[in-house]
Structure 1
Amino acid sequence: MGKNKVNEMVRRNYEFEVRAERNEEANEYIIVGRPIVYNSRTDLGYFDEIIERGALDEADLTDVRFLVNHDTSKIPLARSRRNNENSTMQLFVDANGMTIRVKLDVENNSEARNLYSAIQRGDITGMSFMFGIREQDWSEMDTDHPTRHITKISTVIEVSAVTFPAYEDTEISARDKSALDSARRALDSVQRRAVDTAINYKAKAIMRMLGTKERG
């Protein structure tokens, strides 16, 4: 496994339960979902990727926005500031990744109201997040489809409810091609180092063999 440190910003989408809740007493409209999943293998075309358990342990979560479809031109629908109790979004890191709890202002914000309705109806079922990678490992380097293991996330910038959560080729090329190209270059670099190491090892072994024969 080839380990290296990186400084890369990427987005990742997942399709699984995101639900709308209602707190009648406090008159709150709540969205609960899990935008970050540990130990979930994702096929990114050139390679598979897994966010390893504990990758968030040292991540910077001091200022995280909640958006729809990563649309930074729109006003955030919620925000977590140092995850304090007054934040409109709460972050919960556990053994399986990260869960969020978002309070939506459906009375004063039509976009929040539309989102709440879409999730309640089951029209939106996916979440995504933008994050930085600090450390990664590579495995299955001797195959045509290696695996990248993200072991440390440096920061989480934003999380989004997304309309198209699945990893389709068109979505990858349109949204995240530059990040994937960067990862592919990192993979190529790791593979080249592995080949160079193997060549050097074989050369030294041959030299040792020749030296033994000469002495014999």
Structure 2
Amino acid sequence: MGKVKKEMLRRNYAFEVRAEQDEKHGAIITGTPIVYESKTDLFDFFEVIDRGALDHADLTDVRFLVNHDTSKIPLARSRRNNDNSTMQLSVDKDGMKIRVDLDIENNAEARALYSAVQRGDISGMSFMFAVDSDTWDNLDSDKPTRHIRAISTVVEVSAVTFPAYEDTEIQARDKKALENARNALDSGKRAKSVDTDAIELERKRLENFFMEARR
């Protein structure tokens, strides 16, 4: 059987993204697109990326875009995070940090992004990833919490104009994850109930058998 393709998800964060000048790399953007232990409100549930979720993630080829626009040329790229990559990734105890080297001299879009970040017009980042394992807390409540325990891959990071979740398609996908988790929980409860009923029936059958044997 072929390997099951994992669904790609997007997550946004609003925080300080900095535009700086580096003596070695020129115009750069720095930020933290993936933050551990930060509770995010995803409409139908909360989500937390657990510390260490990136420990075994595939980060061999990650592109840097603006607003996830794949029709545009990437402004930077990390390939195996080598020294020649125009985006450097750094995973630590708090999450994943990035440094993006922008070619503001030859690329008008890179120049526009650098200016927008410098002015504070863009203050959010987003990333596209696939989940390897997760767990849920309080599935019986109106708003449970999903813990992402392990991320299998990160394929793209974006600077975003609107860090808030306004994409209905994203909301629908997230809701589907919650429904699947609740269905799995219900199936487990039903299986447990069936097992309990079977045990009770067997107990009564044995009681009747021994009562008949004593007569």
- TM-score, normalised on structure 2? 0.87
In structure 1, the partner of 2:143 is 145
Change in Cα spacing, 1:27 to 1:91, as seen in structure 2 (3 Å) is closer
Cα distance in structure 2, aligned partners of 1:34 and 1:107: 25
- Maintained 8 Å contact 2:42/2:171: no
Amino acid at match of 1:150: I
Q: In structure 2, which of residues 46, 67, 83 is the aligned counterpart of residue 48 of structure 1?
A: 46
More divergent stretch after superposition (154-163 vs 43-52):
43-52
Cα distance in structure 2, aligned partners of 1:102 and 1:10: 22
For structure 1, which runs of at least 5 residues remain unmatched after alignment? none
- Maintained 8 Å contact 2:50/2:149: yes
In structure 2, the partner of 1:107 is 105
Q: In structure 1, which of residues 70, 73, 88 is the aligned counterpart of residue 71 of structure 2?
A: 73
More divergent stretch after superposition (120-129 vs 39-48):
39-48
- Maintained 8 Å contact 1:9/1:179: no
Change in Cα spacing, 1:188 to 1:63, as seen in structure 2 (3 Å) is same
In structure 1, the partner of 2:80 is 82
Give the match's secondary structure for 2:56.
coil
Alignment size in residue pairs: 207
In structure 1, the partner of 2:120 is 122
In structure 2, the partner of 1:18 is 17
1:19-62 residue CA offsets vs partner (Å, 9 max, x unmatched):
01102x33600100000011111121222111111111111100
Q: Which of these two proteins has the greater Rg computed from alpha carbons?
A: 2
For structure 2, which runs of at least 5 residues remain unmatched after alignment? none
Q: Tell me, yes or no, if structure 1 residue 183 matches structure 2 residue 182.
A: no
Superposition deviation, residue 151 in structure 1: 0.8
Change in Cα spacing, 1:122 to 1:9, as seen in structure 2 (3 Å) is same
Amino acid at match of 1:140: N
- Maintained 8 Å contact 1:46/1:145: yes
Superposition deviation, residue 185 in structure 1: 3.6
Amino acid at match of 2:49: I
Cα distance in structure 2, aligned partners of 1:32 and 1:132: 23
Superposition deviation, residue 201 in structure 1: 5.4
Cα distance in structure 2, aligned partners of 1:37 and 1:162: 16
Q: In structure 2, which of residues 187, 193, 197 is the aligned counterpart of residue 203 of structure 1?
A: 197
Amino acid at match of 2:34: I
Amino acid at match of 1:26: K
1:155-176 residue CA offsets vs partner (Å, 9 max, x unmatched):
1010000000023xxx131x51
- TM-score, normalised on structure 1? 0.86
Amino acid at match of 1:165: P
- Maintained 8 Å contact 2:51/2:94: yes
Cα distance in structure 1, aligned partners of 2:192 and 2:137: 16
1:122-143 residue CA offsets vs partner (Å, 9 max, x unmatched):
1111000000111111111221
- Maintained 8 Å contact 1:35/1:128: yes
